[in-house]
Amino acid sequence: MTKTAAIIGGGVIGGGWAARFLLNGWDVRVFDPDPEAERKIGDVLANARRSLPGLGNVALPPEGSLSYHETLAETVQGVDWVQESVPERLDLKQKVYAELEAHAPGGAVIGSSTSGYKPSQLQDGFTNAAQIVVAHPFNPVYLMPLVEVVTTDVNTPEMIAKAKAIITEIGMYPLHLKKEIDAHVADRFLEAVWREALWLVKDGIATTEEIDNAIRYGFGIRWAQMGLFETYRVAGGEAGMKHFMAQFGPALSWPWTKLMDVPEYNDALVDLIAGQSDAQSGQYSIRELERIRDDNLVGMMRALGANNWGAGALQNAHDAARLSEAGLARSMEDVADLSQPILTQSRVVPLDWTDYNGHMTESRYLDAFAQSTDRLMEIIGCDADYIASGGSYFTAETHIRHIDEVHAGHPVQVRTRVIMGAGKKMHLWHEMYEGDRLLATGEHMLLHVDLKTRRSAPPAAHIEANLVKLAEAHAALPAPEGLGRAIGAPR
């Protein structure tokens, strides 16, 4: 059953929320009196459609429907989630909440994107206060996973659990803050860094570009994968955090920062910052910068996913939760029809899988087919537990035929046949399609190996039985064109 989200305010953040919900299969209803709202959200959606589907390794569900409405009351009818993203003015937000009190469904979560206000300020005086939580995201909402969920004692455990479950369902991470504070947690860090950066520019210590380089070439990369405290724990060496604190603790009393002081905010400071910023990146349009940012974020998070770490681990968990919805089996019992090739991959081509010719690079076909082999191995029972017990399959030979090109963002599926599965050998045939268009085939011969001796050995009985069962079922299919073909030679 399709769920529905209402987006109140369609700016950069509201548009990002709309894209995150929409691309995860939710219907989205938008209310924003700005006559440019539909165009602005359309721009955000274009970027999201380009980048988000390629972040994971499992296809997203079909997009929900997007609609725009004339009144707030009409927008929130029958919705499961309301996300308020109007400008940071408490009087304006409270005006919105007064209408939501009258019209929002009683079971809907009402989340605020506020970066500064506490939930108690938003809840004050409203009979539906238990529904109202802070759900503060980060830009771009359709890629950045963090949502600060700030609640008060007024919120029921059921409403809090529902809010966290929905945020998780759309591939984000709910950081539940049980004690409220102005600006929550993450923005307080950002504000501290921002204040120090303003002083460094104002005092002529560094330019805006030099400060950005200090972050992106240095601690910013470390923070992206380990955060603050874990980074410093590692910096303490074998002695860990206590050693780090003992070594650098005295610096806390040194006048290194001006965190409790701010430069005078005047036209001169604005012109200085803006002028340096224009010189730094003014050659790019905002849309170009957004696409560069999105490409970098996807690449970094996919790299983290390879190590199952940080934001990459979160995406891997989201992929795993989507397997059945995408039609991918986890075991033999999940395979609907053993007589047909098994769907072992359903995804889009990620941004980083393309080459200088503008299409999917040849090495990524092998990557994709290897992932399909891993899926087939998991289905027959050669999963992580089995491999940990000492058995696995090693690839002995591979032959890939590149039949047609495919581009970034295009949906692809891989279907797999078992040609032979008796004894130590596993002979697989993969076919990659975009719709009905055959893109490539991969023929792979693997040998079962004892991981202790690193030599070929018979698989466990249940592994071989599952492979033989699939091979016998697939034997009734017509022989695939190209099976057993040598490179460049006819069948």
pLDDT, tens only, 111-133: 999 999 999 999 999 999 999 99
Position 451 scores a pLDDT of 97
pLDDT single digits (tens) 222-242: 888 888 888 888 888 888 888
Report the C-alpha gap between 153 and 173 in whole angstroms: 22
Q: 22 by DSSP, 3-state: which?
A: helix
The C-alpha angle 422, 428, 432, rounded to 5 degrees, equals 160
- Residue 410, classified by CB atoms within 10 Å of its CB into exposed (0-12), middle (13-18) or buried (19+), is middle
Closest by CA to 443, choosing from 435, 459, 432, 456, is: 432
Does the structure show a pLDDT above 60 at 337? yes
Nearest-Å Rg of the Cα atoms of the chain is: 27
Domain segments of the chain: what residues? 4-177, 186-283, 326-474
| pLDDT class of 2 with cuts at 50, 70, 90 | confident
**What homologous superfamily is domain 4-177 in, according to CATH?**
NAD(P)-binding Rossmann-like Domain (3.40.50.720)
- Which CATH number is 186-283 given? 1.10.1040.10
Number of alpha carbons in the 13 Å side-chain half-sphere of residue 227: 8
What per-residue confidence (pLDDT) applies to 486?
Answer: 81
Which whole number is the average pLDDT over 186-199?
Answer: 92
Question: Which parts of 122-168 are beta strand (E)?
Answer: 132-136, 146-150
pLDDT of residue 489: 62
Question: Is it the case that residue 491 has pLDDT exceeding 70?
Answer: no
Residue 169 has pLDDT above 70, yes or no: yes
Mean pLDDT of 209-224: 91
- Compute the average pLDDT of residues 348-371: 94
- How is 366-388 classified by DSSP, letter by letter? HHHHHHHHHHHHHHHT--HHHHH
Stretch 268-282: mean pLDDT: 88
pLDDT at 490 over 70: no
Q: What is the CATH number of domain 326-474?
A: 3.10.129.10
Q: Determine the length of the chain.
A: 491
Produce one character per residue of 38-63: b if its CB has 16 or more CB atoms within 10 Å, e if not. eebbeebbebbbbbbbbbbbbbbeeb
Q: In what order do the strands lie in the sheet with 81-84?
A: 66-68, 27-31, 4-8, 81-84, 109-112, 132-136, 146-150, 173-177
pLDDT at 260: 75
Give 477's Cβ-side CA count (13 Å radius).
Answer: 20
Question: What is the pLDDT at residue 156?
Answer: 96
pLDDT score, position 128: 97
**pLDDT over 90, % of the chain:** 82
Lowest mean pLDDT among 37-51, 293-307, 447-461: 293-307
pLDDT reading at 245 higher than 80: no
